[in-house]
Amino acid sequence: MLGLLALADGLNSWNAFRQHCANWYGTGIIILFTLTLVYHWLNGLRHLGWDSGQGLDIKQTYFTGKLVIVLFVALSALIIWLGMRGAT
C-alpha cells in the first residue's frame, strides 16, 4: 500500500520507496509481510473447509493444522526465493 501511495505522489517518492525496499530492513519487512500473508491465506482455506462442514473431526483438524505448517514453510520459501532471484 505504501508503494501505491509513493507511486501516486510522483517519481521522487517512488524512487525513495524503492531505495527503502532494497535496503536490508525493507527486505526484512517484505519477507515478514509475505510470511503473514501466506499463513493467513492457508488458514483461511482451512476455515473455509470448516465452514462447509469438512474436517471437523479432531484427527482431521490436527492433520490440516500440520499440513498448513508444512505448506506455509514450502510456499513461503518458494515465494521468497523467487522474489530474491528476481531482485538480482
- Give residue 76's pLDDT: 97
Q: How confident is the model at residue 1 (pLDDT cuts 50, 70, 90)?
A: confident
Does residue 3 form part of some domain?
no
Phi-psi region of 10 (alpha: psi -120 to 50; beta: other; left: phi over 0): left
The reported pLDDT for the residue numbered 2 is 87
66 falls within a domain? yes
Does the residue 28 lie in any domain?
yes
Handedness of CA 57, 41, 37, 35 (dihedral sign): positive
| pLDDT above 80 (res 72) | yes
Which triple of cell numbers denotes residue 75?
510456499
Q: Find the domain containing 43 and state its range.
A: 24-87
What confidence tens digit (pLDDT) does each residue in 29-56 have?
A: 999 999 999 999 999 999 999 999 999 9
What residue has cell string 503473514?
Answer: 36
For the segment 74-86, the average pLDDT, to the nearest whole number, is 92
Q: What is the pLDDT of residue 13?
A: 94
CA 49 from centroid of its chain's CA atoms: 21
pLDDT of 19: 94
With 0-12 CB in 10 A as exposed, 13-18 as middle and 19+ as buried, what is 64?
A: buried
CATH number of 45's domain: 1.20.1300.10
Number of independent structural domains in the chain: 1
Note the pLDDT of residue 70.
98
- Asked if the structure places residue 72 within a domain, the reply is yes
Q: Confirm whether 5 is domain-assigned.
A: no
